[in-house]
Structure 1
Amino acid sequence: MRADMRITMSDSGKEMLQHSKLPDLVLDKLMEWIMEGKLLMGDKLNTEELASQLGVSRMPIREALSNLEKKGLAESVPYAGTRLVILTRDDVRQIYIARKALEPEAARYACEKITDEEIKELEKIHEDYQYIVRKDELDAVEVYQQNRLYHFSIYKVSGLNRICSMIESLWDNLSFFKLIYGQKLLNTRESRERLIAEHQSYLNALRSHDSELLAKLVAENLQKRIDDIPYDIEEYFHE
């Protein structure tokens, strides 16, 4: 981590992660920092500093960093250690193209299998999403997490576990980007209502078990993201 960009935690807030699955907890914390914008593209991840901040040994930190690399979020640089990757606009575009290839199919299979009870659960998630998105002051992380919950509550019904894992990895790859991108998508009341309407259209297709319509809607909405990526690389780095 660069000397001018250190994550500090108060004594009361310092989290001592003591658990049999410490690497997973460390990874969760790193993902949280990425989503909160405390870690940005290109930031160096120092094993000893992270171990001190989280109150754990270096071993779970190393394992967590290895898992972060597997997710495509970090990379090992010779003689420099581990750092978070730098996504170009074309990288973001390619990730969305991959999502467009996978997500409509997961949605199609889910639509054919979804039960009334699962639709009711999805309706509740959608209600919570509407509440979050319509707040006067948006929390970008909260919006992202609820949106993710909504989408994966659909995809996991498909039973296509390997494909869902690939989709999750692609979403993880976009974690830096989504924090700011999500804010830009929600910068007006009209844009917020448009995203709510997207979710509602998925629900309508699921209720009628119209798998072709749902796949078409998901593909069209992802194509919109591909066509209009509000990308300014400077926003993803610490000054």
Structure 2
Amino acid sequence: MEVYLKISNHFAKKMTNYWINESTYDKLKLMKTIITTLITTFILTILSSILFFWPLTVFAYRLPLAKPAPMPNKKGIINSFQPDLSIAGAPLASKEQCVKHLLSVNPLPLITVSPQELVEIFYEEGLREGIRPDVAFAQSLHETGFFSYGGDVIALQNNYAGLGTTGGGTRGLTFPEARIGIRAQIQHLKAYSSFVLPALPIVDPRYELVKKATFFGNAKTWQSLNGRWAVPGKTYGQKILAIHQDIIKTK
């Protein structure tokens, strides 16, 4: 026996009544249940995705895996006639100029400390050993692509001068913190430019390798690092000094 149910159409402009049988009513209920389930599932999926991926998105925004390295010098022209400069000596640029120039090229540097703290460490370590801290910082900008990396070394290594890298995916040396990485870089520069031992215990694992080389203590200028610190590196020193000139011009 068919059973008929009387329902009201609430969507009409004028209230009307009509009749549907029980089987049709069951189908409508099933359809409503399916639609409700689909909508609920969709909303829950969106919410769970946001809750799961949002922290990763924030972290990735701060530390992306890789991005193209900016040009090492966007203002100056790198050429073989770049005036040379001694590795040892007093800084010619201020700490503020170093920070401003870095952030003008790369507003989000991939470093384990703040830009201000990083520059402060360069000055502390460099001045202690008599190495120009501003030019050593320029060297790190050249080596890391203004701390965007994209090469063999990654940000978490705290290796700002390509120490131990030989190409072909070799990661090079890793240091426990930014200060130790900078200290190793400064000590390495001192090994090239001076016969005097570093003031603090040696943390540069490659110091002794330089000490055994014929150029130990004899590479007095930045351009004398050409073909030594970097191979072939025919304009290695010039590129560093060009970046340094841009730092000096920063206001």
Same fold (TM over 0.5): no
Q: TM-score, normalized by length of structure 2?
A: 0.25
Richer in helix (by share)? 1
Q: Which has the higher contact order (CA 8 A, sep 6+)?
A: 1
- Name which one, 1 or 2, has greater alpha-carbon Rg: 2
TM-score, normalised to structure 1, is 0.25
